[in-house]
Structure 1
Amino acid sequence: MTIRLAIADDQALVRGALRALLSAEPDLDVVAECGRGDEVVGMVVGSRPDVCLLDIEMPGLDGITVAEQLAESCPECRVLVVTTFGRPGYLRRAMDAGVAGFIVKDTPASELAQAVRTVHGGGRVIDPELAAESLVEGHNPLTEREQEILRLAEDGSSITVIADRLSLSTGTVRNHVSSAIGKTHSANRAEAARNARELGWL
């Protein structure tokens, strides 16, 4: 039986390489591809692949949010995250979003093809080094509000600007920032945002 695949990655060269590698397998057929996160659900609905290979950082919508949408709208399509960003926080968030597999892009072609078959067969595939690292790092300790504030802090926005954007008092924002700084073991909000991003918590 041929396994139908869709590929979502914002880098055309990566999409082309994945398509070439997977299409060389006799039982795999790439039926659709796109380069934006906000195009994935429409692509999957239109092409009905068995497995969708999904990057995390894409324009329009991030891959983890897309995975959540696919779990609701196209539960029959299994999701395999194939990303450059092998961060423990991303792995945990992706698993919570319902993905069936999570591997990094430097995975050998034969292992990638086998990962697709495993996921299609109902199994799970997780990069072993990343899984071990994820166990060490633990769950994302940041609340949704703290994550929201740190995302706004990434561009250097002041407490006042962040408070205005979120319709919160400056005191409330300061409390959330202080908590996030402590949880990320950082010196200030900019460092907290950077550390949280590197851990895949944002």
Structure 2
Amino acid sequence: MIRTLLALDSALVLGALSFVLAAEDDIRVVAEVDRGDAVPEAVRDGRPDVVVADLDFVEGVEASRLGQCPVLVLAHPRRAGRLRGMRCGTRMIGILRSDVAPQRVVEGIRLLARREPVLDADLVVAALHADGPLTERETEVLALTAEGAPVAEVAVSLGLTSGTVRNHLGRIARKVGARTRVEAVRVAREAGWI
């Protein structure tokens, strides 16, 4: 029996994955937590064989507080750059996209329990190219925008016209898959590009 701890910030995903795992004969959910600060205590009390956790939850926890329990990290491709700086000690870590099919998570749990690697190729590529899709100038424009500078002020600061700044912002939004400047700033901050 693979004792599994679920540490996910979405109650809907947490409940759905718990339901899926309950149908598996060889996996038992020993604890469910929806806050990162609750993970170390749940690991100590539940003594899981595998932890399935959001990137945000394991990123802020010292490796020593998770023991040697393998961790299956679920991450969004936009946040893949943060995987490069993750410290795991000697613990086995698996990495999957946060939007994979539940059966892929089930397979990942089984592989990690056998100390076999679990990697999502798209996330690995995204982590390797985590410097981001933005040019140096686009990064400057977005960084000033993130600080609250209006288009005219960004233009003056960088020696550009307001039209050029608006063009940069439009191109940035398309590159990062955002609909608005605010969303582009959020995406870039989450990915560590600004």
Class of the TM-score when normalised by the shorter of the 2 chains: 0.5 to 0.7
Q: Secondary structure at the match of 1:87?
A: helix
Cα distance in structure 2, aligned partners of 1:107 and 1:35: 19
Aligned to 1:18: 17
Give how far 1:25 is off.
1.3
Cα distance in structure 2, aligned partners of 1:137 and 1:12: 29
Aligned to 2:54: 55
**Would you say the 8 A contact 1:7–1:15 is kept in 2?**
yes
Aligned to 1:148: none
Matched, 1:186 2:140: yes
Pairwise CA RMSD of aligned residues? 2.9
% identical equivalent positions = 34
Give how far 1:87 is off.
2.2
Which amino acid in 2 is paired with 1:109? Answer: P
In structure 2, the gaps of 5 or more residues are 148-184
Q: 1:121 aligns with which of 114, 117, 121?
A: 114
Cα distance in structure 1, aligned partners of 2:187 and 2:14: 29
Give how far 1:80 is off.
0.9
Cα distance in structure 2, aligned partners of 1:186 and 1:24: 50
Which amino acid in 2 is paired with 1:93? Answer: G
Cα distance in structure 1, aligned partners of 2:192 and 2:115: 26
Give how far 1:7 is off.
0.6
Aligned to 1:199: 191
Matches of residues 18-97 of structure 1 in structure 2 within 5 Å?
18-57=17-56, 62-66=57-61, 69=62, 71-84=63-76, 86-94=78-86, 96-97=87-88
**Would you say the 8 A contact 1:22–1:29 is kept in 2?**
yes
Give how far 1:195 is off.
6.0
Structure 2 vs 1, CA of residues 83 and 133 (structure 1 numbering), >3 Å: closer, same or farther?
closer
**Would you say the 8 A contact 2:82–2:127 is kept in 1?**
no
Structure 2 vs 1, CA of residues 182 and 97 (structure 1 numbering), >3 Å: closer, same or farther?
farther
Matches of residues 138-149 of structure 1 in structure 2 within 5 Å?
none
Give how far 1:137 is off.
2.9
Which amino acid in 2 is paired with 1:65? Answer: G
**Would you say the 8 A contact 2:5–2:43 is kept in 1?**
yes
Cα distance in structure 1, aligned partners of 2:78 and 2:95: 9
Bigger radius of gyration? 2
Give how far 1:89 is off.
1.1
What are the Cα deviations for residues 125-171 of structure 1, in whole angstroms up to 9, with x where unaligned? 12111111222235x9xxxxxxxxxxxxxxxxxxxxxxxxxxxxxxx
Deviates more, 1:120-129 or 1:187-196: 187-196
**Would you say the 8 A contact 2:6–2:53 is kept in 1?**
yes
**Would you say the 8 A contact 1:88–1:133 is kept in 2?**
yes
Give how far 1:194 is off.
4.4
Give how far 1:93 is off.
2.8
Structure 2 vs 1, CA of residues 124 and 200 (structure 1 numbering), >3 Å: closer, same or farther?
farther
What are the Cα deviations for residues 56-111 of structure 1, in whole angstroms up to 9, with x where unaligned? 34xxxx43112xx2x213322111112446522122233x3456111123212222
What is the TM-score of this pair, normalised by structure 2?
0.66
